[in-house]
């Protein structure tokens, strides 16, 4: 393990703690981020901060990409031939960003042309899960590539192979539909309870252990009550994922009516200037839809 070198591209809210866990597990880690100041804390922990993606990739056995979206991943990984060509022989590219299924399949094809193995392995669990090392990791790829990467991925969370390349992203889109619709339902339910005279904090306590209980009710419900909306998962990225999921559904000949309603709510939230807030701030949009102030503190 100590001889294995990992290139980690993208050390933002999620990537920084993920890379930190790899360092703690004993891997040699080279990091790159477009804003270099976001690599300084990792450098203090023993990572090598690099000025360019190709520098980070030089001789690496594994390249992990945790950038914001599909176009950004493509631009960094494939627009400069030097990046993948710098990797060690038989290296693996693991894209842990949330990207379209079709993008993952095409990236796998281009990686294979360059002799690089590929996994799409998006994550769920938010910044808290990244910090705690408890992320759900949904991996798509061939069994041998996954088995070789299982221990490495396990340093950051709980990896599960769900099928061939692209199915990791398909699973993440299913996850995002569940997350988005649950946030919307929790927001509606807490506003409903509050306007009916119930203490929303006590509502969460009362529902604990019942069928309505969930991490989103407990964690995001409390955020809604406290109005602490520093982004663990920004609403604009939640909207990106619902848009991607609906486009994928259309390609499969599916109509997802609940998904369309939730997507429209997040779109309106972003239009109202709340896109950089945590996705739990959707309750602000539910309040606006009821002609109430976006903040409960304003009455």
What is each CA distance from 207 to 78, 190, 216, 254, in whole angstroms? 49, 11, 12, 33
Burial per residue of 255-270, b for 16 or more beta-carbon CB atoms within 10 angstroms, e otherwise: ebeebeebbebbbebb
What is each CA distance from 122 to 9, 146, 248, in whole angstroms? 14, 13, 16
* Six-digit token string for 121: 């392995």
Backbone angles phi, psi at 117, to 5 degrees: -75, 160
Name the strand (E) or helix (H) holding 6: strand 5-9
Alpha carbon distance 187, 265 (integer Å): 11
DSSP-derived 3-state class of residue 163: strand
269 within 8 A of 282, measured Cβ to Cβ: yes
Q: Any idea which residues carry the catalytic annotation?
A: 172
Q: Which residues have CB under 8 Å from 257's CB, separation 6+?
A: none
């Amino acid at each position: 393990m100590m001889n294995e070198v990992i290139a980690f591209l993208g050390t933002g809210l999620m990537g920084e703690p993920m890379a930190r866990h790899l360092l703690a597990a004993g891997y040699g880690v080279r990091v790159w981020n477009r804003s270099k100041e976001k690599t300084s804390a990792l450098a203090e922990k023993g990572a090598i901060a690099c000025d360019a993606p190709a520098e980070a990739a030089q001789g690496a056995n594994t390249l992990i990409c945790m950038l914001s979206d599909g176009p950004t991943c493509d631009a960094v990984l494939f627009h400069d031939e030097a990046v993948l060509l710098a990797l060690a022989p038989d290296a693996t590219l693991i894209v842990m960003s949330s990207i379209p299924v079709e993008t993952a399949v095409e990236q796998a094809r281009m990686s294979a042309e360059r002799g690089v193995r590929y996994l799409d392995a998006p994550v769920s669990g938010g910044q808290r899960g990244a910090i705690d090392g408890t992320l759900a990791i949904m991996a798509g790829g061939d069994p041998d590539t996954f088995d070789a990467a299982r221990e490495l991925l396990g340093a950051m969370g709980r990896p599960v192979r769900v099928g061939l390349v692209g199915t990791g992203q398909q699973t993440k889109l299913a996850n995002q539909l569940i997350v988005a619709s649950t946030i919307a339902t929790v927001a509606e339910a807490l506003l409903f309870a509050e306007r009916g005279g119930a203490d929303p904090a006590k509502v969460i306590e009362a529902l604990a252990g019942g069928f309505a209980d969930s991490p989103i009710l407990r964690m995001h419900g409390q955020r809604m009550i406290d109005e602490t909306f520093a982004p663990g998962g920004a609403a604009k990225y939640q909207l990106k994922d619902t848009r991607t999921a609906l486009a994928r559904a259309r390609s499969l000949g599916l109509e997802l009516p609940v998904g369309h309603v939730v997507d429209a709510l997040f779109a309106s939230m972003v239009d109202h200037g709340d896109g950089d807030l945590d996705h739990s701030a959707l309750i602000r949009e539910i309040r606006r839809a009821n002609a109430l102030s976006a903040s409960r503190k304003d009455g």
